[in-house]
Amino acid sequence: MGRGYQINEIKQKLAEILQDSKMGMSGIEISEKLTISRITMTKYLKVLAAEGFLRQKIIGNTTLWFLESGQETFNFPDDYFKVEPQYLDYLIKGSENQVFSLIKNCIHSEASVYKLVKDVIIPAINHIQSLYDEGKIGISEAKFLQNIISKSMQILHQIPIESNPKKKIILLSADPQSTLLSEAASASFYSKEWSVFHLGDMSSAIDLLFDLDFQKLVGKILKPKTGILIVAVFSNTKERLNFFSDSIYPMKQKQGKKMHLVLCGKMEKKTKLDCDLQAEKLEDVVQWSETIYESSK
């Protein structure tokens, strides 16, 4: 690598020289600016273009390089406070490409996936729901924006992480409104090396045969019988959480310490359902699950 530069150093320097360049710069100009050989610089330009950090435009025999929209130099953990309003701004404008570029840039800047979910994505989920509840946006726009959030979380799953086969978790939502939160949980646990089984919206599975069907899945996941299994159900509806609690908790009792049930959602403080943990925030679920795993070793 040119003059011992690390890839993040090159990205930072490229961001500085291309930030205000409307006409773009050629590879020769960039290599001279950064005092890196043309051959080495060309390799890194192509890699960064494939990552979505740069884009290129060929004019005649010249290739011009531009900073992809939504790119900015971040230094984590100090810059998380910058990302949250920027993500929300791009999201409300419906600018999919800028939302995705921002998430990719954060990943390339070595941001914590869990902190991105907790401090950036979940606040955006709540904000869009508030806009809808207050009548400021209709259901069509709300769905459109929620789909953008969902797609941005799929990017987080593209990071290669080797899961721990002894840390297993099943995630499901008991209603369509809680699906995004279950997706956020999926990304969070995946980043912490859990083997994630995300079922999505399971409201259509509420029937008399659910417990038998779910028991078959649990049996497959618990083979081989090592480690622990956590089942986390997300919903703000007491009745739906109660249904899944009644269906799953008896299985948990049979499995003993190998299986745990978590119910996550906003409920009245006096509401008590059969489970190992009843929480309102995803971060409480994540922290508790990590503690349970550590104590099981």
Q: Strand 277-279 vs strand 25-26: parallel, antiparallel, or unpaired? A: unpaired
Coil vs helix vs strand at 207: coil
**Beta-sheet pairing, 25-26 with 62-67:** antiparallel
Q: Which domains does the chain have, with CATH numbers?
A: 2-67 (1.10.10.10), 80-156 (1.10.1240.10), 164-296 (3.40.50.280)
CA atoms within 13 A on the CB side of 232: 31
What is the identity of the amino acid at 157? H
pLDDT for residue 68: 77
Q: What is the largest CA-CA distance in the chain?
A: 72
Q: Is the pTM of this model over 0.75?
A: yes
Strand order in the sheet with 228-234: 194-201, 164-173, 228-234, 259-264, 277-279
CA–CA gap between residue 145 and residue 75 (Å, rounded): 27
How far apart CA 132 and CA 91 sit, in angstroms, is 14
Please give the structure tokens belonging to residue 95.
């600018």
DSSP 8-state symbol, 197: E
Sheet holding 25-26, edge to edge: 25-26, 62-67, 54-59
Kindly report the number of other CB atoms within 10 A of residue 208's CB atom: 7
CA nearest to 78, candidates 119, 39, 137, 130: 119
CA distances from 261 to 168, 188, 198, 240 (A): 12, 18, 15, 14
**What's residue 1's pLDDT?**
38
Residue positions counted in the chain? 297
The answer to whether residues 200 and 235 touch, using CB atoms and an 8 Å cutoff, is no
pLDDT value of position 3? 46
| 77: its two tokens | 């953990």
Identity at 254, one-letter amino acid code: K
- pLDDT for 69: 66
Q: What is the pLDDT along the chain (297 residues), one digit of tens a residue?
A: 344 467 778 888 888 888 777 789 999 999 999 999 999 999 999 988 887 788 899 988 889 999 876 666 677 888 888 899 999 999 999 999 889 988 988 887 789 999 999 999 999 999 999 999 999 999 999 999 999 999 999 999 988 899 999 999 999 999 999 999 999 999 999 999 999 999 999 999 999 999 999 999 999 999 877 899 999 999 999 999 999 999 999 999 999 889 999 999 988 777 889 999 999 999 999 999 999 999 998
